[in-house]
Structure 1
Amino acid sequence: MDDHKPRSSGLLLAAASSFFFSLTSLLAKFVDLPPIVLCWYGFFGLTLLSAPLLLNKRWNLPKKAFRLIALRSFVGTLFLITSFYAVELIPIGDASVLFYTAPVFTAILANICLGEPCTIYGVFVILFIMFGVVLVTQPPILFSDRSVSPDYYKGVFMALGASLTEAISNVALRELKSVHYSVVMFCHGVLSLLFTSALIPFTDWTYKSSPIPFLPLLLSLFSALEQLMMTLALSVEHAGPVALVQATDILFGYLYQIVFFGEEIELISVVGALIIAVV
C-alpha cells in the first residue's frame, strides 16, 4: 500500500463504488431491457473508460495472467447478468442484502484456492451472515405465514449466484496484483463485451423497447465508474475494510425500495440486513 496516500481515501472510493453499483441496480429496474443487453452497455462503458488509462502501459501479459483475466471476465459477466436478473425479480433492498454475502464465498474460496486461513471467528461470521440471509428471504418452510411468488426465489437464487461469481472474480483479482489495474480493467471490458455480444443474438430485444433512450447510457457510465472506484479502493486499502464499507449498498437498496417503488420493508428483513451488515 502507498504510505503517502491517506487510507481513508480507499474507504471513500469503496463507498463511491457501492453508491454507483446501487445506482446501476436502480436503473436496471427502470430500463426495460433484457439483463444481457444491460450488461453489454455496462462493459461497453468499462472498455471506453479504461482505454485512456492504458497509455504508456506495457502489455506483455504472462499466460497465467491472461488466463486469470479471462476467468475474471467470464465470471464477471455472469455476475452482472445474474445481478440484473435478481433486481428484476425481487425488491432491490433484498437483492442488495444478498449481494453482500459475497465475502462469505470469498473467504471459503480463498481458503481452498489460495490457502488463506479460515479462523474460528471467520466461521462464526459466515454462520451469522447465513442467519441474516434466512431472515431476509424468510423461506416458507420456516415462516409458514409468508407467501411469495416462485419468481421471488428465482431472484434469490440469482442474487446468491451473483455473490458466488463475484467471489470467484475477487479471488482471481487477488492473483493479478502484479498487473496494472488499467490493463486488467480494459481486458475485462473487451472480453466481457465479446461474451455479451455473442449472447445478444439469442435475446428477444429491440432498441425501441427502452422507454428512455439515455438511461442505458447512464447505466453504462455508472457500471464503469463502479468498477474503477472499487479497483482504486483496493489499491490503497486492505480488502477487509473495503468489504465493510460495501455494506452501505444495503442502505441505498432499501432507500430506493421505499422512495422509488413505494414498497414496504418488513421488520424481520431489516433485522436480517443489520446482522449481515454488522458482522
Structure 2
Amino acid sequence: MGKEDIPRSEVEETEKFISPSNANNNSVLPNPDGSDDNQSPKNNNNLLNESSSSPVYNHNHVRRKSSTHSILESAHVQLQIFVADAKEELKELKQFKKNGKEKTIRTGWKRYIGIILAIMSSMVFALGVLIVKSLPQYHPYSVSFWRFQGVLLPTLPMVFYYRFVKKEPIFDSICPATAPGHLKTIILLFFRGVTGASAVTLQFYSLQFISMADSSVIAFSTPVFVSLASHVFLGEKSGFVPVISGVITLLGVGVITRPPLFTGESEFDRETLIGAGLALGCMVLATATFLLLRYLRQLHFSLITVIFGFWGSFQSLALSASISKFQPPEGVEHWMMAIGLASVTFIGQTCITLAFKFEQAGTVSLCRTCDVLFAYLWQFVFLGVVPDAYSLVGGVIVILGVLVIAFRKFLSELPPDHRYRQRFWILLK
C-alpha cells in the first residue's frame, strides 16, 4: 500500500465495530489483515514482532493505529453522552419516596390521573349545585341535610375500618378530652364543622336569588382569600401578587352584582345584591374552613370528615326544626334527586381526595377552576339559562384572579432551577 491513505471501507468497518459497550471493556479491534478478531494479546504481540521487519507494513500499521486512536476518542465522547442520558432517564423512571410511601412514576395516560380526578370532582360538584337549583320549593336547610348524608353515611364505615381493622389511632388526638391539647383540637373541630356547614347553607340560599353560575363564581374565589388570610392569621409567606389577585377578584364580584353604574338603573337589583351577599358570605366561611383545616392537618382525614358530616347534619336538621321548615322529598323524582345530591357529594369528595394523592396541590387548584365552567355549562344545558354580559365578564375576572393564585402555587412546588419557575418568577413575588 505504500504511503497511500487507508481505504475508507476499512475505516467504516472499524467505526461499526466500536460501540459504547466495547469502548469500556478493552475489546480488541479487528486486525488490518482480516485475521481473527478474537486473537489473544500474545498473538497480537507476535504479529507486531513479525511486522517489524517490514518497514512498509510498519508505516501503514502506525497510520492505522493513529486512525483507530482517533476513532476511539470519538467513541469515548459519544459514550459519555450516552451514559449521561441514561442516568437522566433512570433518575426519572426510578421509584422515589413521598410521605413515607413508595410511589412509582406513571407513564401514558396514568400520568394525568390526578388531573382527571380533579376535573371529575369539579363536574360532579357542579351537578350537585344544579340539583339544588332545580329544587327551589325546598328550604335550603332541608336540602343541606340531604347533602350532608353524602358526607356522613359513607364515612362511618371508613372510621370503623381504620379504627378496628387497621388499628389506626384516629381518636387519640381527642380522647381523652382532658389530655393536654385535646380540648383545643375538639374546639377547632367544632368550629370547622360550623363554618363548613354554614358555608354550604349560604351557597344554597344564594341559589334562590342568583344563577348557579354567579353563585359558583363568587364562592369559588375562596383560594385567593385563603392565600391572604394565611398570611394574616398563620404567618405564611405572601407577596404583592396575592394582594393584586384579591383586588381583581373583588372587582369581578362587583361586576356580577350589576351595579347601577353599569346597568344605568337608579339602584342595585335587590335580589341580585342579596344573592351576591350570601355567596360572598359562603366564600368568607369557606376561607375560615380552609384555615382551620390547616391547623388540623395532622389529624386523620376520616375523623375530620365524619365530624363535619355529623355536625352538618345536626345543624341543618336543628335549624329546619326551629323554623318548622324541614321537608322530606316528595315523590319518586325528588327522592332520586335527593339521593343523587348525596351521591355526587360523596363522589366529588372522593375524587378530590384522590386527586391530592396523585397530584400536587397547585395543579389540583388549577384544575378546580373547571367548577365555574361546568356551572355555566350545566345551567345552559339543563336550565336553558344563557349568561348575560355582566355574568360572563365578572366570571372571567374572578377566574383570572383565581388562576393567578393557583399558578403561583404550582410554580412554588417546582424545583428552584425549573424553567417555568425562572420564566414566571414575577408571580412568586
Q: Which residue number corresponds to residue 222 of structure 2?
A: 102
| Cα distance in 1 between the residues matched to 2:357 and 2:230 | 19
Q: Does 1:229 align with 2:341?
A: no
Partner in structure 1 of residue 131 of structure 2: 27
Q: Following the alignment from structure 1 to structure 2, what is the Cα–Cα distance between the partners of residues 268 and 90?
A: 12
Give the TM-score, by structure 1 length: 0.90
Corresponding residue of 1:256:
378
Q: Which amino acid is the alignment partner of residue 152 of structure 2?
A: T
Letter in 1 for 2:133: K
| From 141, 146, 169, the counterpart of 1:36 | 141
C-alpha contact 1:40 1:197 (8 A) present in aligned 2: yes
> What per-residue deviation string (whole Å, max 9, x for no partner) do you get for residues 87-124 of structure 1?
22111111111111111221222112211122111111
Give the letter for the 1:245 counterpart. Answer: C
**Partner residue in 2 for 1:123:** 243
User: What is the Cα deviation at residue 155 of structure 1?
Assistant: 0.7
Q: Which residue in the other structure is 2:394 paired with? A: 272
Q: How does 1:4-83 map to 2 (within 5 A)?
A: 4=103, 8-31=112-135, 32-54=137-159, 55-57=161-163, 58=169, 59-62=171-174, 63=182, 64-83=184-203
Question: In the aligned structure 2, how far is the partner of 1:236 from the partner of 1:78?
Answer: 30
After alignment, is 207-216 or 117-126 more displaced? Answer: 207-216
Give the CA deviation at 1:27: 0.4
**1:16-63 C-alpha deviation (Å, 9 max, x unpaired):** 222222111100011231111111111122111112222133211242
Find the residue that maps to 2:103 and give its secondary structure: coil
State the distance in 2 between where 1:45 and 1:88 align. 22
Give the length in aligned residue pairs. 279
184, 196, 207: which is aligned to 2:328? 207
Larger Rg: 2
Indicate how the Cα distance of structure 1 residues 159 and 191 shifts in structure 2: closer, same or farther if over 3 A, else same.
same
* CA-CA distance at 1:209 after TM superposition: 5.2
Tell me how far apart the structure 2 counterparts of residues 196 and 147 of structure 1 sit (CA, whole Å): 34
Shift of 1:222: 1.4
Give, as a single letter, the amino acid of the residue that structure 2 aligns with 1:228: T
Q: Residues 179 and 10 from structure 1, CA distance in 2 versus in 1: closer, same or farther, beyond 3 angstroms?
A: farther
Instruction: Please tell me whether the aligned partners of residues 144 and 316 of structure 2 are also in contact (alpha carbons under 8 angstroms).
Output: yes
Q: What is the Cα deviation at residue 241 of structure 1?
A: 2.9
Cα distance in 2 for residues equivalent to 1:99 and 1:11: 22
Q: C-alpha distance in 2, partners of 1:36/1:175?
A: 28
In structure 2, do the counterparts of structure 1 residues 148 and 258 end up closer, same or farther at CA, with 3 Å as the change threshold? Answer: farther
Q: Among residues 90, 93, 96, which one is paired with 2:210 in the alignment?
A: 90
Q: C-alpha separation between the residues in 2 aligned to 1:110 and 1:150? A: 33
1:215: Cα distance to partner?
0.9
Deviation for aligned residue 1:76: 0.8
Check 1:207–1:128 CA distance in 2 against 1; reply closer, same or farther (3 A cut).
same
Shift of residue 152, structure 1, vs aligned partner: 1.6
Match of 2:289, SS?
Answer: helix
Residues in 1 aligned to 2:315 and 2:353: alpha-carbon distance in whole angstroms: 22
Aligned-partner Cα distance in 1 for 2:314–2:328 = 19
Q: 1:239 to 1:45 in 2, by over 3 A?
A: same
User: 1:142 deviation in Å?
Assistant: 4.5
Question: Residue deviations 1:197-227, cap 9 Å, x none?
Answer: 2212123243365662221121111123333
Give the root-mean-square deviation of aligned CA atoms. Answer: 2.3
User: 1:194 Cα shift?
Assistant: 1.7
Please list every run of 5 or more consecutive structure 1 residues that lacks an aligned counterpart in the other structure.
Answer: none
Partner of 1:117: helix, strand, or coil? coil
Is the Cα contact below 8 Å between 1:50 and 1:186 reproduced in 2?
yes
Give the deviation of 1:183 after TM superposition. Answer: 1.5
Q: Per the alignment, do residues 71 and 12 of structure 1 end up closer, same or farther by CA in structure 2, a change over 3 Å counting?
A: farther
Instruction: Give 1:266's aligned amino acid.
Output: D
Q: Aligned letter for 2:121?
A: S
Cα offset, 1:240, TM superposition: 3.2
Q: What is the SS of the residue equivalent to 2:387?
A: coil
Partner-residue secondary structure (3-state), 1:263: coil
**Which of structures 1 and 2 has the larger relative contact order (alpha carbons within 8 angstroms, sep 6+)?**
1
Q: Structure 1's 206 and 177: CA in aligned 2 closer, same or farther, altered over 3 A?
A: closer
C-alpha distance in 2 between matches for 1:261 and 1:219? 17
